[in-house]
Amino acid sequence: MELIFERSRPGRPGAAVAHNDVQMDVEVDPRYLRSSDADLPCVSEPEVVRHFTNLSKRNFGVDSHFYPLGSCTMKYNPKFTERIASDEHFAAIHPLQPQLPKGPMLVQGCLEVIVNLQEALCEIAGMDAFTTHPMAGAHGELTGIMMIAAYHRHKDRPKKTVIIPDSGHGTNPATAAIAGYDVVTVPSDRDGCMDFEKFKAALSDETAAVMLTCPNTLGVFEPRIREIADLTHEAGGLMYYDGANLNAILGKARPGDLGFDVVHINLHKTFATPHGGGGPGAGPVGVRKHLEPFLPISRIRKRQDGTFALDYDQPLSIGYVSPFYGNFAVLLKAYAYIRLMGREGLTAVAENAVLNAAYLRARLREHYDEACASDTLHEFVLSASRQAGRRVHAIDIAKGLIDHGMHPPTVYFPLNVKEAMMIEPTETETRETLDAFAEAMIALAKLAEEDPETFHDLPRTTPVGRLDEVRAARQMDVCAPSL
């Protein structure tokens, strides 16, 4: 496809702008004046519209295709929440909205939304307080582990290690390391859970925290979670809940009741908001009472007269983790979603997410190897090991799916499963869509039996075919003629 700069013809106007007959007497410092024209493409308005419309059609998204990306939870985002977030009373507000002398801050409505959301999240996660500042799950993890570090320092008992099972997301060990801890990795047992004996051996009075995803990345609910939490607490450590999989247990179980002290929730996974390509997201962090003093500033407080104000007077706080109030539009969408669904609706989210995943797993289990034998919840992991014997790997199956008009599942994660394909259909898909996906996966398994060689130049239906992914990343050339 031509670049917009290649379509440019000097002097061709893009839009009709009326002649300016207003006398401008604004003084601009010459330092800020251009010395030459901006190098912008000269294209007509319809060309601009067609260019970007055609580009947008090459995008892959939940609005156009099925997107079963395990762990990332790419579920359909109700347009209702988008409508709320684009309401100009919210969308046009400025974070530096001035404050009236002696009056309340002028962003009362936004502050109220945040406080209401925090209360809803406390109820959903079984926590005592929430901060909505962190802008992503990983950012929430860092905020949470920094609070845990501050807590141990405050008790005059700083510790050295964080325990993480080998099925954990890469951000977990990265977070622990950035916060200054040594990471102790515990292998998974045959059921895909943290090996209990090896966990006990790893636990010591130097353990600052145990970071767990529950259900874990294989979709398995950790059966000994209470014992793990009790042992950790006895050893003086804290329990960190990676909430990326919270959609599996919404309304059914609460991390706080399971023994966790800190939790982050990926609002962009569990509570609407499309995401990808790095954003937008929000990773609010909830804590039990004993960690509340360490929450980032500012906290929003409801005053006696019913107005809301920011409170910076938190001597034990870990400080700022983001400017202003966090990623407000994402918070707003999540709040609208929670209010739209209500308690029963959120429970149904978990039930349908689990049902859909169980259905797909049952349809696919004879065609691919399974990562574990135990029951799984909202996602499950298959392995392409059987196909790899015929030189068809998880990446080849993934590329083949694209020709069926579907986004591939997450591949090569979790790291403790060879040739992993991690499938999360989410609750928003119909039986027909799930069947179409199952048929596509079965067709690819058959093709791997019958004609494994064809896989190596898939996909064939996309504007760009099979890329050398390493070279594409290292020597990126977005103007290559094949584009």
Ligand X SMILES: *Cc1c(COP(=O)(O)O)cnc(C)c1O
Query: Does the protein bind ligand X through residue 244 (CB under 6 A)?
Result: yes
Q: Which residue has the tokens 């993890």?
A: 141
Cβ 233 to ligand X shortest distance, Å: 23
Task: Tell me how far, at minimum, the Cβ of 146 lies from ligand X, in Å.
Answer: 15
Can residue 424 be called a binding residue for ligand X (CB under 6 A)?
no
Q: Is residue 213 part of the contact set for ligand X (CB under 6 A)?
A: yes
- Of the candidates 202, 186, 174, the one whose C-alpha atom is nearest the C-alpha of residue 416 is 186
Residue 192 near ligand X by CB under 6 A: no
Query: In the set 222, 242, 261, 379, which binds ligand X (CB under 6 A)?
Result: 242
The residue within the footprint of ligand X, chosen from 81, 143, 247, 266 (CB under 6 A), is 266
CB of 71 to ligand X, least distance (A): 4
Quick check: 136 binds ligand X (CB under 6 A)?
yes
Q: Which stretch binds ligand X (CB under 6 A): 111-119, 123-131, 135-143, 203-211?
A: 135-143
C-beta closer to ligand X: residue 349 or 445? 349
Q: Is 322 exposed, middle or buried (0-12, 13-18, 19+ CB in 10 A)?
A: middle
How many other CB atoms are there within 10 angstroms of residue 274's CB atom? Answer: 16
Lookup: tokens for 456: 């190596």
For residue 236 the two structure tokens come to: 């003086």
- CA angle, 404 as apex, 401 and 408 as ends, to 5°? 30
Q: At 477, is the secondary structure helix, strand, or coil? A: coil
Distance of CA 203 to the CA centre of its chain: 29
Q: Does 256 bind ligand X (CB under 6 A)?
A: no
Which lies closer to ligand X via its Cβ, residue 217 or residue 317? Answer: 217
Cβ closer to ligand X: 144 or 281? 281
136 vs 262 by CB, closer to ligand X: 136
- Comparison of 68 and 281: residue with beta carbon closer to ligand X: 281
Q: Which residue has the tokens 């059609």?
A: 57
Least distance (Å) between residue 243 CB and ligand X: 8
* Cβ atoms < 10 Å from Cβ of 412: 15
Report if residue 169 touches ligand X, rule: CB under 6 A: yes
Q: Which of 173, 283, 296, 409 binds ligand X (CB under 6 A)?
A: 283
Tokens 């047992």 belong to which residue?
Answer: 189
Give the C-alpha separation, 87 to 107, whole Å: 15
**Please, which residue, 136 or 186, has the CB nearer to ligand X?**
136
Q: Residues in contact with ligand X, total (CB under 6 A)?
A: 14
What's the rounded Cα separation, in Å, for the pair 469 and 475?
A: 10
Q: Which residue is nearest to ligand X (CB)?
A: 137
Q: In terms of Cα–Cα distance, which of 71, 278, 279 is closest to 168?
A: 71
* Residue 141 C-beta-side C-alpha neighbours within 13 Å: 27
Does 137 bind ligand X (CB under 6 A)? Our answer is yes
Contacting residues toward ligand X, per CB under 6 A:
71-72, 136-138, 169, 171, 213, 217, 242, 244, 266, 281, 283
